[in-house]
Amino acid sequence: MSLKHALLGFLSFGPATGYELKHAFENSIQHFWSADLSQIYRTLESLREDGLVTMRIEHQKTKPPRHIYSLTESGHAELMRWLQEPSIELPTVRNPFLLKIFFGALIPKETILEHLRLFDEALRQRIAVYKQIEAYLPKRCREQGLHAHKPFLLATVRLGLTSLEVYRQWCHDFISELKRL
């Protein structure tokens, strides 16, 4: 699985806690990868057992102690190995909404239209989030010294945005088509 590699990748930007990594996921790669916090914690521990990361605890006065993970040399080597290996695996997608549309002829047209409206609204919100991420990306790259990364991060975010917009356009077209039927 690639969650390990996703975590190694983010840690190559600098040490971080599980909580921070979860936010890093949400603010950038949400479109093509996501993970539960509990899974991130477990995976970090397993990376530590494999010697790919190290962990140190930073005690704080008011908040729970932070477990800060850092990439080791062998973790970096593993990341490089994985990045350079050709990507054979095709993306897996599981979209329960589209499943409902697929079998849409079985239920009343009004219900389908309602589903489509809900989905459209969810897309609208997600697009707004992505536009924010896109807008702040140059600043974040400057601040974190990720200059060389900028074109890559931007490219993936833009693909996410475009995909969502295509979905939304499809939604509108299909609503019109259904209404005509």
- Does 36 contact DNA by CB under 7 A? yes
The amino acid present at 39, given as its one-letter code, is: Q
Site residues for a copy of itself, window 120-159 (CB under 8 A)?
A: 122, 126, 146, 148-149, 151-153, 155-156, 158-159
Backbone angles phi, psi at 68, to 5 degrees: -100, 120
Where does this chain touch DNA (CB under 7 A) — which range of 19-27, 110-118, 147-155, 173-181? 19-27
Task: State how far the Cα of 60 lies from the Cα of 54, in Å rounded to an integer.
Answer: 19
Does 9 engage in binding with a copy of itself (CB under 8 A)? yes
Coil, helix or strand at residue 129: helix
Q: Does 67 bind DNA (CB under 7 A)?
A: yes
43 vs 37: CA distance, rounded Å: 10
Query: Considering the rule CB under 7 A, would residue 1 count as an interface residue with DNA?
Result: yes
How far, rounded to the nearest angstrom, does the alpha carbon of residue 106 sit from its chain's CA centroid?
33
How far apart CA 174 and CA 111 sit, in angstroms, is: 14
Binding site for a copy of itself (CB under 8 A): 2, 5-6, 9, 12, 28-29, 31-34, 79-80, 82-84, 86-87, 89-107, 111, 114-115, 118-119, 122, 126, 146, 148-149, 151-153, 155-156, 158-159, 162-163, 166-167, 170, 174, 177-178, 181
